[in-house]
Amino acid sequence: MYRFSRAIYRELSAEIIEDNPGQPYLNHERVLRACEAAVERLATDRHYFAKPARTLFADIRTYFPISSQGRVWRIVERYLTFADEFLRTQPKSGFDMYGNPILCRASTRKGNQCQRAPLPHNGYCPSHQHLAETENFHDFDELAAA
C-alpha cells in the first residue's frame, strides 16, 4: 500500500516549502507521514474514512505555496482514487491487509467490538444486520433535507 503514498510524495516533494533551516527536511517528513497515514487508514478503516482525499489535503496543504494548492489537490485526489479502486478489487478473504481477521463493525452492549465475522456486503454479522438498515435511513434524511 505504500506505493500509493510514496507516489503522492514523489510528485509533490519538489514543491514542499521548508520553514526551518536547522532541519531542512522536516516538512518533507511530515508530508510523507501524512500520506502514509492516509493510505493506511484507507486500507484498514475504509468504511469510516468517507473523504480520504479531503482529509489528506487538509493535513498537507500548509506545506505548499498557494500557487501549488490546485495541483496538490489533483494529485492527492487522483492517487487516493487509485488506491481505493485497488483495494476494492482485492479478494475478500476475511482478513485485512495486515492479516488480522475482519470483525463485525458493531459494538456489544458492554462497548466492546463484536467478535463475529461480518457478511461481505455490509460489514455486519448476522446478529447486527439491523444496523445496516439504519445507515440507509441516514442517507434518506440527507436527501429529504436537500
* Least reliable range by pLDDT among 3-12, 38-47, 76-85, 136-145: 136-145
If one counts the domains in the chain, the total is 2
Whether 91 shows a pLDDT value over 70: the answer reads no
* Structure letter (DSSP) for residue 100: P
Query: Does one domain contain both 75 and 112?
Result: no
Whether 53 shows a pLDDT value over 60: the answer reads yes
Please tell me the chain's helix, strand, coil percentages from 3-state DSSP, rounded to the nearest 5. Answer: 65, 5, 35
Query: Does one domain contain both 79 and 112?
Result: no
What is residue 10's predicted lDDT score, i.e. its pLDDT? 96
Domain range enclosing 137? 103-146
4 to each of 17, 31, 87, 132, how far by Cα in Å? Answer: 22, 13, 11, 31
Whether 83 shows a pLDDT value over 50: the answer reads yes
pLDDT > 70: what percent of the chain? 85
What is the H or E stretch that residue 8 is in? helix 2-12
Question: Is residue 38 in some structural domain?
Answer: yes
Instruction: Read off the pTM.
Output: 0.69
The mean pLDDT value of the chain amounts to 84
- Name, of 69-73, 99-103, 116-120, the range with top average pLDDT: 69-73
Query: Does one domain contain both 64 and 130?
Result: no
Read off φ and ψ for residue 21, nearest 5 degrees.
-65, -25
